[in-house]
Structure formats: structure tokens, C-alpha cells
Amino acid sequence: MIIMCSNCDQPMEGNADMLDMEVRCPNCMEWTYPVLPRAGTGLDTEAPEELGQNRLDELIGANDDVEQWHKRRRRRRQARRPARPADLQNMWYIMTSSGPRGPYASEQIVQFAKDGKINAANELMNAQSKSVICAGKIPNLFGKQPKKTVKPKQTSHQDWYVKTAKGEAGPFTSAKIIEFAKAGKIKADTMLRKAESQQFVLASKINGLITTKT
């Protein structure tokens, strides 16, 4: 039932026995003998249900607030929780002049490499083993490097091959062959062939290549 403070008319929840005892009003904080609600105030009919519902709503809201606080607290504790050993295997520190930075997950390190934030010369330290390694030595961190293909040397119909004791040397341009002849590296009995031909001829047979001194 609803009773009222005789001093400030504050509604309170109580019972008939409280009408004969002195209680302290939670509103005015004065000791008083409660009284029944006066007629016409509405507290004697609808107020008990409304007051009870309001208090129930307040209780539900308070419980929701407490639950939200516990959820936030659990999230903060999980964020501060140290990583498990299994997780440390995939965590890395980036070594800098001011000290290690991190830790970063392996996925973050791969993204840093793609974005150019780290290069092959950067040193990384594994969070579990504490071993330091150059980023360039981690397999596939910077993607598979395409193999360099060596293009075959293009030959011209004017190029020459020189027959030697170890096989063929060349190809050499006509200007290079003349230079060799002037330097004495190609003599009259040296065998040469053009790039488009498989037949060797004596250098002395090539017009203007070997000049004879008179």
C-alpha cells in the first residue's frame, strides 16, 4: 500500500503497521509518522500500480546499465589479455632505430610489404622466438619474383663467327672483325663464316680484310 510523509507529502511504499511507527522520509530526511493518502490525490487508486511500474522500469534500466558495464569490462580485459603462445608465432616486431614497433600479425606484415611500408632490408623479430630476420628472407613476403629471361643475342647477316681451337666465337660485327685483323688477332689463315652461312672461309679470301705488307 501507499503511505505519505506527514511532513512533505512524499508517497512511500509501506503497510498499515507503519502508520503507528516513526519512519524517516527518504525525501525530506525527517522522522515522521506516515499517513494515508488524502482523498482526491489519486494515490489511493492508480498511484500504487503506476508507482510500482515506474520502479520496475527503473530496476530494468538499472540492470541493463550494469550488464552493459560488464560487457565493456570484459572487452577491456580481453584487449589487455596477453597473447597465447600459439598466437605469438604469427606476431612480429619491426625493428627501427628507436626500438621495436609492434607486435603486428603476419597478415599486417604482408599488407605492409604490399603497401611499401617495409622493404626487404627491414629487420623483423618474431614475438615468440625473439629471432631477428631480414624481411627479404621471409619466403613469399614480397611475392614471387619473376625469373629474369635472358634474351638471345640478335644476329645480323653482317655478323661473323671466328673458328678457334675451342669452337666458334662470336658473333662479331664487321667493324669488330676488321679491328681484330688490324690488331693481328685475325690472321690470313683464320677461318671465318658469316652468320647466315655454315661455310668457313680463310680470312685471306675476304676482300680488304687482310692487308699484306710490301
Q: Which residue ranges form the domains of the chain, and what is each CATH number?
A: 2-64 (no CATH), 87-137 (3.30.1490.40), 160-205 (no CATH)
Q: Alpha-carbon distance 107 to 114, whole Å?
A: 11
Mean pLDDT of 145-163: 65
Question: What mean pLDDT comes out for the span 159-165?
Answer: 86
Position 82 scores a pLDDT of 57
Residues 186, 204: Cα–Cα separation, whole Å? 10
Q: In this structure, what C-alpha cell is assigned to residue 102?
A: 609492434
pLDDT at 170: 79
Contact 170, 160 (CB under 8 A): yes
Q: What is the pLDDT of residue 33?
A: 81
Angstrom distances, CA of residue 205 to CA of 119, 130, 157, 182, 197: 60, 74, 18, 16, 15
Higher pLDDT, 23 or 51: 23
Question: What is the distance between the alpha carbons of residues 71 and 63, in angstroms, rounded to a whole number?
Answer: 12
pLDDT greater than 80 at residue 51: no
CB burial of 94-116 (b: ≥16 within 10 Å; e: otherwise) equals bbeeeeeebbbeeeebbebbeee
With a cut of 80, say whether residue 98 has pLDDT above it.
Answer: yes
Question: What is the average pLDDT across 124-142?
Answer: 88
14, 46 in Cβ contact below 8 A? no
pLDDT at 122: 92
Residue percentage of the chain with pLDDT more than 90: 7
Q: Is the pLDDT reported for residue 124 higher than 90? A: yes
- Residue 160 CA to residue 181 CA, distance in Å, equals 13
Residues 62-73 have a mean pLDDT of: 73
Report which of residues 18 and 103 the model is more confident about: 103
pLDDT(46) > 50: no
Q: What is the pTM of this model?
A: 0.31
Residue type, 192: L
